[in-house]
Amino acid sequence: MLIFSHRGLKLEQPENTLEAFCAAAAAGFGVELDIRLTKDGDLVCIHDRNPARVAGTSAVQDVREHTVVELQALDVANSFWQWRDASRIPRFFDVAQQVIAKFGPDRRAAVHVKAEEQGDQQIGLLVSTFQKYNLYAQAFLFDLTLETAAQVRAMDPNIQIFISVGEERYGPSIYLWEDLKDHGAIYDGVWWDEWKILGGEYTQERAAQIKAAGKLNYAISPELHLDHANPHALVGYYQEWERFIAWNIDGVCTAFPRAFQEFLAARKIA
């Protein structure tokens, strides 16, 4: 079972940084990361449009309005560990070259393309990066709208695409399972998510339906939805882990990759 470390090994290094991605890879984990477009037409790895949460108060309030040089002047370690050396917002191009391209078959990168980041420029940059570094076996795109998924499939059918499925349509790129019944040709797997309604999506029946459709299934661990009041975000995520294992899920994205790795090892599951 693949383990995706959410935003890199963020409990040990600043999230969405080269340091966090390298630490995750060294520990044997895949990574989940976020991309955003800069003013000068590059892609950087950062979750929020406003860097304040990770970089503290600054004149930079919107990634789209600043160049890579301006963004990399920020210290994204300071908000978490004041005693650490500075850490910078990385370019996706550099992460692809230095980390993802070196992944073996036991690791993959889940590239989160937010709904507002699915313009032609962003998609073109992603496709060209996959082609330049031959990332087809090491990475995939997820959270695409069906329209963007069809666009990417037409541009490069070798790029794997995962569609986000939840218990409700919480956003323009989050679908119900039944929404996908006529779109099987444009996606390869499901980024399986239960935001806040226990049993609303994570069921044995749904897991079997996804597998019967011939799609890979990567599930999101509940602690990643603390902000959405998932009842198992603080206590109970182990229960979901037990179900994921019993249902033979292909991979899990978690903030606690080491704990999940130990959980699998205790059950002698590779």
| Mean pLDDT in residue range 166-195 | 98
State the DSSP H helix or E strand holding residue 216, giving kind and residue range, or none if neither.
strand 216-220
Do residues 54 and 88 make contact, with C-beta atoms less than 8 angstroms apart?
A: no
pLDDT of the residue at 82: 66
| Mean pLDDT in residue range 143-149 | 98
What residue has token string 């406003």?
Answer: 50
pTM, to two decimals = 0.96
| Mean pLDDT in residue range 153-166 | 98
Residue 270 has pLDDT above 70, yes or no: no
Tens digits of residue pLDDT in 220-264: 999 999 999 999 999 999 999 999 999 999 999 999 999 999 999
Write down the mean pLDDT value for the chain: 95
Three-state secondary structure call for residue 268: coil
pLDDT of the residue at 23: 96
Cα–Cα distance measured from residue 44 to residue 35, given in angstroms and rounded to the nearest whole number = 5
Tens digits of residue pLDDT in 55-68: 887 778 899 999 99
The single-letter DSSP state of residue 91 is: B
**Would you tell me how many other CB atoms lie within 10 Å of the CB of residue 4?**
26
Residue 81 has pLDDT above 70, yes or no: no
pLDDT of the residue at 89: 96
**Would you tell me how many other CB atoms lie within 10 Å of the CB of residue 181?**
9
Cα–Cα distance measured from residue 241 to residue 157, given in angstroms and rounded to the nearest whole number = 32
pLDDT of the residue at 85: 79
For strand 43-45 and strand 30-37, is the pairing parallel, antiparallel, or unpaired?
antiparallel
* Of 38-42, 73-77, 96-100, 124-128, the least confident: 73-77
pLDDT of the residue at 77: 82
pLDDT of the residue at 269: 72
Tens digits of residue pLDDT in 91-129: 999 999 999 999 999 999 999 999 999 999 999 999 999
**Would you tell me how many other CB atoms lie within 10 Å of the CB of residue 148?**
22
Domains of the chain, first to last: 2-266 (3.20.20.190)
**Would you tell me how many other CB atoms lie within 10 Å of the CB of residue 164?**
21
| Mean pLDDT in residue range 164-179 | 98
**Would you tell me how many other CB atoms lie within 10 Å of the CB of residue 74?**
23
Give the CA radius of gyration of the chain: 18
